[in-house]
């Protein structure tokens, strides 16, 4: 009686096929592939639920029409539920900001560092004092603009110049400049 693992000519049969792949290898590959697809099917809903909702995505950028802002005026907007100041500087304010020795500032930035090239007249800053997060005055008509004709935080006495740079008081840094771009000559997209 012939051994069950022998071939017709009497040589022992190999558990591998002609190309060296065993039946067990195929079963392992199929099992691992099925487990991988199952893992993705379980994990994907858990990960996708952590994505921001539609209302959060809508608030992630803000468009502001700046066509009505005259030189010397500022408007208040809102970006991510925080105040945003947009100011069109006069030529005198630009000259005054450029005349300051940047090395003498606590947070050394020039006006060119804080504005877009070719648009030095438009200053966009977050409206939060960098000391404790108060909202400085100076963006609305008739508000106290402080000693440097920019913004003034009455809570603790921080004074900012026309470029939103800290000049006096406890605030450690300049008013933050958010990421923004001009989508046209009259519209700014923040965020």
Q: Which residue's entry shows tokens 């017709």?
A: 8
With H, G, I as helix, E, B as strand and everything else as coil, classify residue 106: coil
Q: Does 159 qualify as catalytic in the annotation?
A: no
Instruction: Say how far apart CA 96 and CA 78 lie, in whole Å.
Output: 28
What's the chain's length in residues? 191
- Helix residue spans in the chain (DSSP H): 23-48, 54-58, 91-98, 111-114
Listed in sequence order, the residues at least 6 apart from 176 whose beta carbon sits closer than 8 Å to its beta carbon are 125, 126, 128, 130
Instruction: Say how far apart CA 100 and CA 85 lie, in whole Å.
Output: 22
Q: Which of 28, 131, 156, 159 is catalytic?
A: 156
- Helix residue spans in 5-83 (DSSP H): 23-48, 54-58
Sign of CA dihedral 113, 116, 122, 125: negative
- Here the tokens at position 189 are 């997209």
With H, G, I as helix, E, B as strand and everything else as coil, classify residue 189: strand
Which residues are catalytic, by number?
156
């Amino acid at each position: 009686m012939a051994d069950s693992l022998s071939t017709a000519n009497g040589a022992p049969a190999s558990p591998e096929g002609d190309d060296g792949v065993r039946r067990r290898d195929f079963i392992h590959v199929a099992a691992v592939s099925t487990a991988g697809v199952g893992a993705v099917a379980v994990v994907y809903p858990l990960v996708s639920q952590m994505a921001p909702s539609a209302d959060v995505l809508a608030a992630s950028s803000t468009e502001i029409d700046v066509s009505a802002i005259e030189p010397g005026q500022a408007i208040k907007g809102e970006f991510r539920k925080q105040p945003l100041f947009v100011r069109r500087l006069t030529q005198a304010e630009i000259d005054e900001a450029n005349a300051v020795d940047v090395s003498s500032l606590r947070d050394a930035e020039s006006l060119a560092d804080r504005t877009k090239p070719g648009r030095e007249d438009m200053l966009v800053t977050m409206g939060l004092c960098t000391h404790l997060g108060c909202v400085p005055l100076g963006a609305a008509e008739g508000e106290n603009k402080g000693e440097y004709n920019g913004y003034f935080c009455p809570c603790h006495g921080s004074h900012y110049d026309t470029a939103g740079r800290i000049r006096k008081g406890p605030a450690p840094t300049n008013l933050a400049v958010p990421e923004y771009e001009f989508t046209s000559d009259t519209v700014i997209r923040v965020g």
